[in-house]
Amino acid sequence: MIAIDTNVLLRYLLADDTVQHNKAAFTIKSSQSVLITDIVLVETIWTLTGQRYKLDKQATCELLRSLIGDSLFIYEDVNTIWSALQDYEEASAVRGKKLDFPDALINQKAKYVARLKGKKLTAFYSFDKAVEQLSAAKIL
């Protein structure tokens, strides 16, 4: 197993720099399994949905499904990512603010860690109004 940084995953996905894309693709495809950590996944989505690339929600969901479904890639906890993706897909805007995938993943990851520790997550606090539609979320 190898792990990759966000910039490697981005060059692989975007192919916007031929030299770096080829290096990333060779490294990824010549490995038996490639770990994409939650941090790398969040940074990738944050970058792609930002001002430069402006990936919309539908394209983001398609990309996430594609990455998760690719047997080459492994994740810290794929069920947590699937749950976050489901939350993100089902979310609607709250007072004009749209839920983003990183917030959905933070919420699901918090639940996952609480379960690992033998506890129940009683609250996920945020100033972001869009997270209030997630279970356990509370607005400060």
| Beta bridge mates, 139 | 126
- Break the chain into its structural domains and give their ranges: 1-76, 92-140
Residue-level pLDDT at 15: 97
Residue-level pLDDT at 95: 83
20-58 per-position pLDDT tens digit: 999 999 999 999 999 999 999 999 999 999 999 999 999
Alpha-carbon distance of 9 to 14, in angstroms, equals 8
> Does 135 score more than 90 pLDDT?
no
Q: Nearest to residue 91, comparing CAs of 69, 109, 74, 107?
A: 107
Q: How far is CA 18 from CA 38, 52, 119, 125, in A?
A: 26, 19, 47, 42
> Does 64 score more than 90 pLDDT?
yes
Burial of 121 from C-beta contacts in 10 A (0-12 / 13-18 / 19+): middle
Q: Is beta strand 137-139 parallel, antiparallel or unpaired with respect to 124-126?
A: parallel
> Does 136 score more than 90 pLDDT?
no
Would you say 80 and 88 are in contact if contact means Cβ atoms under 8 Å apart? no
Give the ranges where the chain is alpha helix by DSSP (H). 6-14, 18-29, 38-49, 57-69, 78-90, 101-116
More confident residue, 132 or 81: 81
The pTM of the whole model exceeds 0.85: yes
Residue-level pLDDT at 61: 97
Alpha-carbon distance of 119 to 64, in angstroms, equals 29
92-128 per-position pLDDT tens digit: 888 888 999 999 999 999 999 999 999 999 999 999 9
Residue-level pLDDT at 93: 83
| DSSP state, residue 126 | E
